[in-house]
Structure formats: C-alpha cells, structure tokens
Amino acid sequence: MKISRKAFWLSLLVAFSIMLIIPPAALLAQEAKVDLSLRILPEYYYKEVTPEEDNTLFMEIRNNGDTEITNIRFDSDIPKGWIVDFKPASISSLSASSSQTVDVNIIPSRDTGRGEYNLTFIAEANETRAVASTMMRIESGSSFWLWVGTGLVAIVIAGFVIIFIRFGKQ
C-alpha cells in the first residue's frame, strides 16, 4: 500500500495543526513546587556552649517553592535533659519565595559532661518537612572522668612521696 505525496503532506499538516491547537498535557497541568529549607545561622560546625546557660542560635526557614506553605511547627532531637525553646513556636503560613528567622534558645542540662553533642532541628508543615543539624561542644561543666583521673594522679603522687620518705633515709 503506497501513500501518495499529497496524502503524506496533508496528514503531516493535520498533525502539526493538532499539536498547535492542543498543547501537551504537561503544559496544562503543572504541579505546584513545594520546597522548604532550614538553615542554622551563623553557619559554623561547632558552637561552644555552657551547661545551665542560655545559648541562642538562629534558624532561617525559607519557602523556595511557588506555593504557600502552612502550619509550620518546630521540633528538635536533642540530648536528654536539654531544653530547647523556639520563638516563634510555629508559623501559620509562609508565602512563596519568602523567609523568616526563628530564635532558638538552648539550655544544656547541669550534668552534661564535656564533649560534642549533635542537635537536629525539624520544621514540619502540612505540605512538607525540613531538617537541619549542628554540633554543640561543652568545654566546661562537670566531668566524672576528670575527677577520677585527678584522684588517680593524686594517689600515685602520694604513693611516690611515701616510698621516697620511707626508703629515702636508708
């Protein structure tokens, strides 16, 4: 079965005409872009903090999408006994391409020992969720092993003093 040139060109013209009149489905039904980001300010890897004292961080929450994000709530994954307070505690809505800063007050517990602690902050909205982490370093505070080590050193020194006094006279 052979198709004539005239029929071929006519069918090609009809196909192009239909494509111009009826756009592809992807152009008709685009989904709204939802993109929420969370960032700790200032951006540093470690922050030195002191137990039982207020330590303030700032979080920037940004709507990078093209639709409003609603009912944003904040939560954290922190070491046991630590207190985290968000101000504001929630954001009712964040319009497209906008941002807001949230104050985060962190109070490490009194019995927190020296070391590095990972803190994770979560912003959860009706449409999406964002997570950010930072490290906190405790340089001061009670340390059980510091006292144990100091006690052992004192015992060893006392032992040498006793040995020197006892056997040094001979």
Domains: count for the chain:
1
Residues in the chain, pLDDT under 50: none
Q: Is residue 152 part of a domain?
A: no
pLDDT tens readout for residues 125-170: 988 889 988 888 887 655 666 778 888 888 989 888 888 888 876 6
Phi-psi region of 48 (alpha: psi -120 to 50; beta: other; left: phi over 0): beta
Sheet of 99-107, strand order: 36-41, 55-63, 99-107, 83-87
At residue 142, the pLDDT reads 54
Residue 10 lies in a domain: no
Give the pLDDT confidence score for residue 85 in this predicted structure.
95
CATH of the domain at 87: 2.60.40.10
